[in-house]
Amino acid sequence: MVLQAINSPRKMLPRLLGTALMVGALGSGCSWMPQSVAQSGPRERGDDQPVAVETQVVTTGSVEDALEYTGTTRPAQSVTLRAQVEGQVIDLFADAGDAVGSGEVLARLDPNLLTVGVNQSQAELAARQAEVAQAQTGVSDAQTAVDQAQLQVEQARIEANRLRQLADAGAVSLQDAEQAQLVLNTAQKALQSAQEQVRTRQQAVNATRGRVDSQRAVVAQSQERLAFATVRSPLSGIVLGRLVEPGDFAQTGAELLQIGDLSTIKITVEVSELNLSSISRGQPVEVRLDAFPDLTATGQVTRITPVADTTSRLLPVEVTIPNPQGRIGSGLLARLRFLGQRSDAVVVPTEALQGEPPTLFVVQDRDSDAPKVVARSVELGDRSNGQVAILSGLNPGEQVVVRSDRPLEDGQTVRLSILSDPQ
CATH number at 84 reads 2.40.50.100
Same-domain status, 126 and 197: yes
- pLDDT of 33 strictly over 70: no
Same-domain status, 235 and 102: yes
The reply to whether 360 falls in a domain is yes
Q: Which residues contact 282 (CB under 8 A, 6 or more apart)?
A: 300, 301
Give the least confident one: 96-110, 293-307, 330-344, 359-373: 330-344
Q: How many domains does the chain have?
A: 4
Asked if residues 252 and 83 have their Cβ atoms less than 8 Å apart, the reply is yes
Same-domain status, 135 and 211: yes
- pLDDT of 27 strictly over 70: no
pLDDT band at 169 (very low <50, low <70, confident <90, very high): confident
Same-domain status, 128 and 86: no
The reply to whether 299 falls in a domain is yes
pLDDT of residue 212: 93
The reply to whether 118 falls in a domain is yes
Q: Mean pLDDT across the stretch 388-415? A: 86
pTM assigned to the model? 0.54
The reply to whether 323 falls in a domain is yes
The reply to whether 422 falls in a domain is no
Same-domain status, 194 and 171: yes
Same-domain status, 298 and 351: no
pLDDT of residue 38: 40
Q: Mean pLDDT across the stretch 196-218? A: 92
Domain end, chosen from 307, 338, 369, is at: 338
pLDDT band at 35 (very low <50, low <70, confident <90, very high): very low
- pLDDT of 156 strictly over 50: yes
- 52: CATH: 2.40.420.20
pLDDT in tens, 49-78: 788 888 888 887 766 667 889 999 999 999
pLDDT of residue 45: 41
- pLDDT of 365 strictly over 90: no
Same-domain status, 139 and 274: no
The reply to whether 256 falls in a domain is no
The reply to whether 396 falls in a domain is yes
Give the least confident one: 11-15, 55-59, 204-208: 11-15
Most confident of 8-12, 68-72, 418-422: 68-72
Domain end, chosen from 338, 356, 384, is at: 338
Q: Which residues contact 214 (CB under 8 A, 6 or more apart)?
A: none
Give the least confident one: 99-103, 121-125, 294-298, 388-392: 388-392
Same-domain status, 197 and 219: yes
- pLDDT of 347 strictly over 70: yes
Domain end, chosen from 305, 338, 371, is at: 338
Q: Which residue has the higher pLDDT, 5 or 55?
A: 55
Q: Mean pLDDT across the stretch 98-125? A: 94
Domain that holds residue 177: 113-226
pLDDT band at 417 (very low <50, low <70, confident <90, very high): confident
pLDDT of residue 11: 39
- pLDDT of 2 strictly over 60: no
- pLDDT of 119 strictly over 70: yes
The reply to whether 421 falls in a domain is no
Same-domain status, 159 and 217: yes
Give the least confident one: 85-94, 113-122, 353-362: 353-362
- pLDDT of 351 strictly over 50: yes
Same-domain status, 218 and 321: no
pLDDT of residue 395: 87
pLDDT of residue 64: 61
Same-domain status, 265 and 334: yes
Same-domain status, 353 and 401: yes
